[in-house]
A and B are shown apart, each in its own frame.
Chain A
Amino acid sequence: SSELTQDPAVSVALGQTVRITCQGDSLRSYYASWYQQKPGQAPVLVIYGKNSRPSGIPDRFSGSSSGNTASLTITGAQAEDEADYYCNSRDSSGNHVVFGGGTKLTVL
């Protein structure tokens, strides 16, 4: 089992806002990073650090954190945002790297 817990599936209506969460004790000490993965493709980093976006990632993607929970928010979800989303951070010991189990986002 992963030290980072994500809801398996989330859905959002086109153009609405959706929040995908990631829970874990290590998130009290470390920021989560977030990855988007579409079928048959490698993951793509969308959020890292406190709330930073790599070049080319739309500003509708944002990140936040409170206590042991990190969140990825998509404001105004688009059809192309339908994908699996994974969070990632250090584990609670700080020595290793872990991924959440992933959340499948459906855009209705």
Chain B
Amino acid sequence: QVQLQESGPGLVKPSETLSLTCTVSGGSISNYYWSWIRQPPGKGLEWIGYMYYSGNTNFNPSLKSRVTISVDTSKNQFSLKLTSVTAADTAVYYCSRSPAYTPRAWYFDLWGRGTLVTVSS
């Protein structure tokens, strides 16, 4: 059974870089898209971006200038870096998986449990 687990600091100072890692266990990172999604407290879901296992990336235009997503296939991990954070970046951050080769459809079939990141001095 494939599982996703987010890890990283729960507290980040304003203007610094938020860094999170998602570990994929019980399955391969190949042939899927791997996304980061966030949810501010009491608000809705926001897609941050995804990386295909081969390295192609795609980001939310509103965050593109601050986001990097990378993958380490040898460790079955992918990572998020979000620079110049502010209080508005405080959220639960989820990693998620999307199957490839799904014409006319996009969906997240597997999610991590999420990790709360608070931006505060």
Task: From the candidates B60, B107, B112, name the one contacting A48 in the complex (CB within 8 A).
Answer: B107
Residues of B with Cβ closer than 8 Å to A?
Answer: 35, 37, 44-47, 50, 58-61, 94, 102, 104-109, 111-114
Task: From the candidates A45, A49, A86, name the one contacting B44 in the complex (CB within 8 A).
Answer: A86
Smallest CB separation, A1 vs chain B (Å)? 11
What residues of chain B lie closer than 8 Å to A76, measured between beta carbons?
Answer: none
A-B contact count (CB 8 A): 65
What residues of chain A lie closer than 8 Å to B46, measured between beta carbons?
Answer: 99
Residue of A nearest to B109 (CB): A45
Residues of A with Cβ closer than 8 Å to B?
Answer: 2, 29-31, 33, 35, 42-45, 48-49, 54, 86, 88-90, 95-102
What residues of chain B lie closer than 8 Å to A30, measured between beta carbons?
Answer: 104-106
CB pair B107–A88 under 8 Å, yes or no, is yes
Q: Top 6 closest A-B pairs, CB basis?
A: A33-B107, A48-B107, A42-B111, A97-B47, A99-B45, A102-B44
Residue of B nearest to A54 (CB): B109
Chain B CB count within 10 A is highest, among A29, A33, A95, A102, for: A33
Task: From the candidates A29, A96, A101, name the one contacting B60 in the complex (CB within 8 A).
Answer: A96
Main secondary structure of the interface of B (DSSP, over half): loop
CB pair B58–A96 under 8 Å, yes or no, is yes
Residue of B nearest to A93 (CB): B61
Residue of A nearest to B61 (CB): A96
Once the chains are docked, how many angstroms separate the CA of A57 from the CA of B113? 19
What residues of chain A lie closer than 8 Å to B105, measured between beta carbons?
Answer: 30-31, 33, 48-49
What residues of chain A lie closer than 8 Å to B60, measured between beta carbons?
Answer: 96-97
Residue of A nearest to B106 (CB): A90
Q: Can you add 5 more A-B contacts, CB < 8 Å, to A35-B108, A43-B94, A99-B47?
A: A2-B44, A43-B45, A96-B58, A96-B61, A100-B44
**Given A43-B111, A96-B58, are A89 and B44 also a contact pair (CB < 8 Å)?**
no
Task: From the candidates B61, B106, B112, B114, name the one contacting A89 in the complex (CB within 8 A).
Answer: B106
Chain B CB count within 10 A is highest, among A29, A42, A90, A95, for: A42
Residue of B nearest to A45 (CB): B109
Once the chains are docked, how many angstroms separate the CA of A29 from the CA of B46? 21
